[in-house]
Structure 1
Amino acid sequence: MTSPPLSAVLWDMDGTLVDSEPYWITAETALVEDHGGTWDHEQALQLVGLALEDSARAFQHAGVRMSTGAIIDHLTSAVMTRFATDGIPWRPGARELLAELREAGVKTALVTMSMRRMATTVADLIDFDAFDVIVAGDDANRPKPFPDPYLQACEALGVDVADAVAIEDSPNGLRAALASGAASLGVPHMVSLEGVGAHALWPTLAGRTVSDLASVRTARDHRGGHR
């Protein structure tokens, strides 16, 4: 018996599933300015896809006089407030593709470096049962770009990571997906993914289908990436 063409799809959250990066940047800029520093767009882009602990250290270097944990809690709460007041800012095509996966019976996981309380808030705001598993930043053994979050998600789902497709918008996240052995799809948003090594790069998820995602795994296998 051959394995199904697509056992699971592993979704990054910020910038891939939801367009939350502007929320983060607004909260980060306000935090640094409240402590007398400056924070520009280029500095913000350097943190896209970075573990929150690493981001917190960058803010400390910019003059924020708070502990790493306090910075993470403050920013998480600020972004969660935006979700609560404004709703989910879906990335184009993401909700439709996620719903199609659920209807097709494909397992799904949310794999994010945001805190679990934020990840579960986003999942709870979706108007259908979107994810079988959530692996958040405070769950991961090691953060992206290490493969651990994706490997943990596949273990929890009971699938071989080689039979899964991971969707990412940042170089760090894409490196984690590639290192895990998953077929890795890049959908760039705020930063370029050229040269990172994605098995496929799509400009958008709009109009894409379950069959299209299965083709990413096929492309990975044809390139010799199946381990």
Structure 2
Amino acid sequence: MLSALIFDVDGTLAETEDLHRRAFNRAFAALGLTWRWDAALYADLLTVMGGKERLAHYIETRRPDEAAALHALAPEIHARKTAAYSDLVTEGGLPLRPGIGRLIGEARAAGIRLAVATTTSRPNVERLLAANFPPGAEPFDVIAAGDEADRKKPAPDVFLLALAGLGIPASEAVAFEDSAAGISSARAAGLPVLATRSRYTDSHRLDGAFSAVSDLGEPGQPHRHIAGLEWPGGVVDLAGLIRWHEALDDQGTAFQAMGTSR
């Protein structure tokens, strides 16, 4: 029985990554640091999961001569970055990706529970949700955020936290991800994965997802199929997810629609 959907945040619920990059740059400027992260550099840094970890990696690899001082400054940099991200969301809004709001609505109407499993921090998740859902209408039953997990993706920890919060086995849920590390994380937790490409993961292989698409699609605005299970009309909907899930064998080994994407 399909009883829950578990979503990554950055690149999956919304195209947040460039706002994170701009927020880091605002924090650097506010502290008088002269370096800036452009889109190409940030794409490379995204191979490190988690903002704090990404910043530490940058310091170690790109600023080794200043590493001691910069590591001491890192907590303030990240705190300012989190505040700047909130400001950027407020200033310009941050819409959900195609199909996300529709599928969330279908799930809520059907009594399917919803969770978040993300490497980003809880304040960033809460700000994104506040920008897209009315007060008191936040749809997620469980939020498992990066600072609450012992290990970041591709380790399974954050998905295991989400499953524990939901109180269900992995066999009753489907995960939604946009990156190779995220897919590996969800699969390691025992979850089947539906993958969507995002701006900063366009070059990622999406191996291990039972379906890979450009986005979830909307009626009249179909997604682009990439690999694995194809969706009628180019739209991922709850009825289709339930049909696919019901087709799994008793051991959950029939991820027969697994695709490979280059």
CA contact (8 A) 1:200 1:216 kept: no
Q: How does 1:107-122 map to 2 (within 5 A)?
A: 107-122=113-128
Q: Which residue number corresponds to residue 200 of structure 1?
A: 211
Q: How does 1:58-97 map to 2 (within 5 A)?
A: 58-61=57-60, 62-63=62-63, 65=70, 67-97=73-103
Q: Which residue of 138, 141, 148 maps to 1:139?
A: 148
CA 1:90/1:223 → structure 2, altered by over 3 Å: closer, same or farther? closer
What RMSD, in angstroms, separates the aligned Cα atoms of the two structures? 2.4
Q: Which residue number corresponds to residue 152 of structure 1?
A: 161
Q: What is the deviation of 1:32?
A: 5.2
Tell me, in whole angstroms, the C-alpha distance in 2 between the residues paired with 1:88 and 1:48.
20
Structure 1, unaligned runs of 5 or more: none
Q: Which residue number corresponds to residue 9 of structure 1?
A: 5
Q: What is the deviation of 1:48?
A: 3.1
Q: Which residue number corresponds to residue 222 of structure 1?
A: 254
CA 1:174/1:100 → structure 2, altered by over 3 Å: closer, same or farther? same
Helix, strand or coil at the partner of 1:15: coil
Q: Which residue number corresponds to residue 26 of structure 1?
A: 22
Structure 2, unaligned runs of 5 or more: 219-235, 258-262
Q: Which residue number corresponds to residue 41 of structure 1?
A: 39
Q: How does 1:161-200 map to 2 (within 5 A)?
A: 161-190=170-199, 191=201, 192-200=203-211
CA 1:32/1:196 → structure 2, altered by over 3 Å: closer, same or farther? farther
CA 1:210/1:147 → structure 2, altered by over 3 Å: closer, same or farther? same
TM-score, structure 1 normalization: 0.86
Q: What is the deviation of 1:160?
A: 0.7
**Which amino acid is 1:87 matched to?**
G
**Which amino acid is 2:17 matched to?**
E
Tell me, in whole angstroms, the C-alpha distance in 1 between the residues paired with 2:75 and 2:208.
33
**Larger-Rg structure:** 2
Q: Which of 1 and 2 has higher RCO (CA within 8 Å, sep 6+)?
A: 1
- Deviations 1:80-101, CA, capped at 9 Å, x for gaps: 1112222332111111111111
CA 1:117/1:29 → structure 2, altered by over 3 Å: closer, same or farther? closer
TM-score, structure 2 normalization: 0.75
Bigger drift between 207-216 and 176-185 goes to 207-216
Bigger drift between 9-18 and 44-53 goes to 44-53
Helix, strand or coil at the partner of 1:175: helix
Residue 130 of structure 2 is aligned to residue 124 of structure 1: yes
Bigger drift between 22-31 and 71-80 goes to 22-31
Q: Percent identity?
A: 28
CA 1:100/1:56 → structure 2, altered by over 3 Å: closer, same or farther? same
Tell me, in whole angstroms, the C-alpha distance in 1 between the residues paired with 2:255 and 2:166.
26
Question: Aligned pairs, how many?
Answer: 221
Tell me, in whole angstroms, the C-alpha distance in 2 between the residues paired with 1:141 and 1:38.
30
Q: What is the deviation of 1:153?
A: 0.5
Tell me, in whole angstroms, the C-alpha distance in 1 between the residues paired with 2:189 and 2:158.
9
